[in-house]
Amino acid sequence: MSTPFLSVQDLTVDFHTEDGVVHAVDGLSFGVEKGTTLGVVGESGSGKSVTALAVLGLHSPETAKMSGGILLDGRELIGAPRSVMERIRGNKAAMIFQDPLTSLSPYHTIGRQIGEVFRRHTGASRAAARDRAIEMLTRVGIPQPKLRVDDYPHQFSGGMRQRAMIAMALVCDPDLLIADEPTTALDVTVQAQILDLLRDLQEQTGTAIILITHDLGVVANTAHEVLVMYAGRAVERGTVREVLGEPHHPYTWGLLASMPRLSTPVDAPLRPVRGTPPSLINVPSGCPFHPRCDYPALAGPELCRTERPELSPRHGHGDACHLTLAQKQEIVR
Amino acid sequence: MLRFLTRRAIGAVLTLVIIAAVTFFLFFAVPADPARLACGKACPPELLEQARHNLGLDQPLFAQFTAWLTGIFAGRDYAGLGHCPAPCLGYSFVNRAPVLETILDRLPVTVSLTIGAAVIFLLFGVATGIVAALNQGRPLDKITSVSSLVGSSLQIYFVGTLALYFLVYENQILARPQYLPFTEDPLAWAAGLTLPWVVLSIIFTAGYTRMTRSTMVEQLGEDYVRTARAKGMKARSVTLRFALRGTLTTVITIFGVDLGALIGGAIITETTFGLQGLGRLSINAVTDSDLPVLMATVLVAAGAIIVFNIVVDALYAFIDPRVRLN
């Protein structure tokens, strides 16, 4: 089996803080192929964003200790020199962030912020970069791009800002695009437009996309594969159909059950996953989900508390849970 | 922009009139008799009455104030001293010298002192602040924060006196502090003011270092700085183009206020180094109950603060496009 375009192997990210070591990501492995979208879901603090920032090498080496492997197109990124990472960022691998208002510089025009990425990585002239910025604004559907290129972010609406962010991320035709909750700060109609835009652009360019979100609806509509994260680990992985259609992990069940549906009565209470996300300084022993899980007794008395389940099988639809497949099917039924 | 400036200018004039009125009436609330001071120690009652009349102090308070105010705009006639053309700030109670001339004579001293010190503390303070922010938590940052704490706890009269003793009188390393006009000999001007500049800037530098550091640390944590790094921008360009831009807004605000306050007179510095600037003039005016001089120094001090505030507000528009007024 060949290595995927982006291959993350046994990634660990620890932050050393005054309160102790935060195990933000703990032994995470996944891969993304070109032209496909991996949806990464999980609660806040499950390590989604930390993983994204790790791929681009955006953690400060002084606070974050990383180990494992991040292979982009066969090249190891962990421990790569800063100059190499600076050449990759914005060029081969780009990122768009959650809040486009704070993520764009208020002091520079949209056109300049898009153009400078292009100039930085291609050495283009100022004029060429400006033309490229206008071209990118056209591609992401900003009306009157020739006029809006000289606007500042505060003159754009929320949806237009996120379009501008996408234009900025795609200006150098990256092979990998990481979108960290790109639609969370936007209203629902704009959200759909942005996701459509990402899908269209992916069809044109064949970019690999990592879509980080806590919205399973977004994943269902946009992603090809899904990675469910809990406490810095992958608890379930598979295609969208597999994970959302036949979920195997109790945490995935909880996430799906917590989503209100149009068919549920208006007065029915919401059904959150019970308990709170664990502290990443003192991660629960064994399966980190066991304190919140409804079924540890089924798997055997002490198993869930003492032994950490591995993601299995290693390829295809896998989950990290001690329950047997038969037990899971029984519960789901 | 023009509308903004007009509106601010009108506001500034109103503010100054109010400040002048408050100062004027407060002056008379103090139980000191300027006429007695002007007349001398052994002053017979009829001479005292004469002095009171000459100074215009026998008029009702309100009439005195309006006479002073109209003098600024229209000039005014003084019995025995002739016509004083607009802008007329009157004559000193103490030595009958025209106040406007005195102010214009003293202003260059204070302005020279302020500009020189401001250049030093702005450049040095901001630079060390940036270095500290970029080395957050490392030894260099800690050294900077300790020395700025020490610096801001120092007092001008203490450091100034020590420096005068060791650097000027004992070892002749620096020139004796004095004011020589810039237009006559720029080198002598700079040499004479070097020590006051350095001493005055020590305390301000510390403040600017700490302010720049904390704002910069905040800016470096901003989302758009992270975006700049995610775009592959070089570390130096991230610092200078993105993080510093936001820091400047804060620095310029405080800088405007400080400059305004310093133009009003760096009283302690001027006194320590024997410079005849506005600060000393105002202190002397208070102790001598010299109303016209006091009013003029208050006007200059308040005016400077107001003007620099307007300048700062206008500068915002250049730094931050969100503030642009169209």
Q: Per-domain residue ranges for chain A?
A: 1-92+172-333
Instruction: Please compute the mean of the pLDDT values over residues A132-141 and round it to a whole number.
Output: 93
Residue range A56-81, pLDDT digits in tens: 999 988 889 999 999 999 899 998 99
CA B255 from chain centre, in angstroms, equals: 11
Nearest chain B CA: its distance from A244 CA (Å): 32
Closest residue on chain A to B247 (Cα): A107
Q: Which residues of chain B have pLDDT under 70?
A: 325-326
Query: Cβ contact (<8 Å) for A94 and B230?
Result: yes
- Could you tell me the two tokens for B252? 């310029």
From the CA of B243, how many Å to the nearest CA of chain A? 10
Model confidence at A84, pLDDT cuts 50, 70, 90, reads: very high
Residues of A in contact with B232 (CB under 8 A): 85-91, 117, 120-121
Task: Give the pLDDT confidence score for residue B245 in this predicted structure.
Answer: 85
How confident is the prediction for chain A on average, in pLDDT?
91
> How many angstroms separate the CA of residue B1 from the nearest CA in chain A?
19
For domain A1-92+172-333, the question of CATH label 3.30.470.10 is answered with no
- Residue in A49, A107, A121 to test binding to B, most B beta-carbons within 10 Å: A107
Q: Are the Cβ atoms of B245 and A105 closer than 8 angstroms?
A: yes
If contacts are CB pairs under 8 Å, which of residues 213-272 in chain B contact chain A? 222-224, 226-235, 241-242, 245-246
Q: Does B2 touch chain A (CB under 8 A)?
A: no
Q: Find, in chain B, the residue whose alpha carbon is nearest to that of A152.
A: B321
Average pLDDT over residues A220-239: 94
Find the domain containing B119 and state its range. 104-156+194-323
Over 60: is that where the pLDDT of A1 sits? no
- State whether A104 and B228 contact (CB < 8 Å): no
- Tokens of residue B199, six digits: 């001493």
Asked whether A13 and A66 are in contact (CB, 8 A), the reply is yes
| Chain A CB within 8 Å of residue B4 CB | no
pLDDT exceeds 70 at position A174: yes
Q: Taking the CA atoms of B88, B92, B96 and B97 in sequence, report the sign of the dihedral they define.
A: negative
* Distance, C-alpha A138 to centroid of its chain: 26
Q: Judge whether B218 lies within some domain.
A: yes
Confidence at residue A214, expressed as pLDDT on a 0 to 100 scale: 85
Contact B230 A90 (CB under 8 A): yes
* Residue B19 belongs to some domain of the structure: no
Could you write out the DSSP letters of every residue in B139-161? HHHHHHHHHHHHHHH--HHHHHH
Q: How far is A237 from chain B (nearest CA, A)?
A: 27
Domain contains B247: yes
A122–chain B nearest CA distance, Å: 12
Contacts of B222 in chain A (CB under 8 A): 102
Q: Which letter does DSSP use for residue B202 in this model? A: H
Please state the domain count of chain B.
Answer: 1
The CA distance from A228 to B35, in Å, is 89
Q: Which of A82, A95, A120 is the closest to B230 by Cβ? A: A95
The predicted structure's pLDDT at residue B275: 92
Q: Which residues of chain A lie closer than 8 angstroms to B227, CB-CB?
A: 97, 103-105, 165, 168
Nearest to B59 by CA among B291, B288, B284, B281: B291
Domain CATH number, residue B137: 1.10.3720.10
pLDDT-based confidence at residue A313 (cuts at 50, 70, 90): confident
Per-residue pLDDT tens over the stretch B140-170: 999 999 998 888 888 889 999 999 999 988 8
Residue B79 lies in a domain: no
Cα gap B203→B208, rounded to integer Å: 9
Sheet holding A37-41, edge to edge: A93-96, A176-180, A208-212, A37-41, A225-230, A233-239, A318-319
Chain A positions touching chain B (beta carbons under 8 Å): 56, 58, 62, 82, 85-91, 94-95, 97, 99, 102-108, 116-117, 120-121, 152, 154, 165, 168
| Chain A residues closer than 8 Å to B231 by CB | 89-90, 94, 116-117, 120, 168
**B229/A95 touch (CB, cutoff 8 Å), yes or no:** no
Question: Is the ipTM beyond the 0.85 threshold?
Answer: yes
The string of DSSP codes covering A219-281 is HHHH-SEEEEEETTEEEEEEEHIIIIIS--SHHHHHHHHHS--TTS-TTSPP-PPSS-PPPSS
Inter-chain CB proximity A102 and B223 less than 8 Å: yes
Cβ atoms B230, A95 nearer than 8 A: yes
Residue B233 and residue A86: Cβ atoms within 8 Å? yes
The answer to whether residue B201 is domain-embedded is yes
B80 domain residue, yes or no: no
Does residue B199 fall inside a structural domain?
yes
The pLDDT value given to residue B325: 55
pLDDT bin (cut points 50, 70, 90) of residue A3 is confident
Residue with tokens 């700060």: A185
CB atoms B321 and A168 under 8 Å? no
- Nearest CB among B223, B227, B232 relative to A87 is that of B232
Phi, psi of A312 (to 5 degrees): -145, 150
Flag if B224 and A58 touch (Cβ within 8 Å).
Answer: no
| Arithmetic mean of pLDDT, A278-302 | 87
- Domain membership flag for residue B21: no
Q: Do B321 and A154 touch (CB under 8 A)?
A: yes
Q: CA A10 to CA A232: how far, in whole Å?
A: 11
Q: Do B321 and A152 touch (CB under 8 A)?
A: yes
Q: How many cross-chain Cβ pairs, A to B, lie less than 8 Å apart?
A: 72
Question: Are A105 and B320 in contact (CB < 8 Å)?
Answer: no
Please list every residue in chain A whose beta carbon sits closer than 8 Å to the beta carbon of residue B235: 82, 86
Residue A18 has pLDDT above 80, yes or no: yes
Which CA distances in Å does B80 have to B33, B51, B54, B102? 21, 12, 8, 20
Q: In the structure, what pLDDT confidence band is assigned to residue A34 with cuts at 50, 70 and 90? A: very high
CB A207 within 8 A of CB A73: no
pLDDT at A163 over 60: yes
Instruction: Tell me if B230 and A82 make a contact (CB, 8 A cut-off).
Output: no
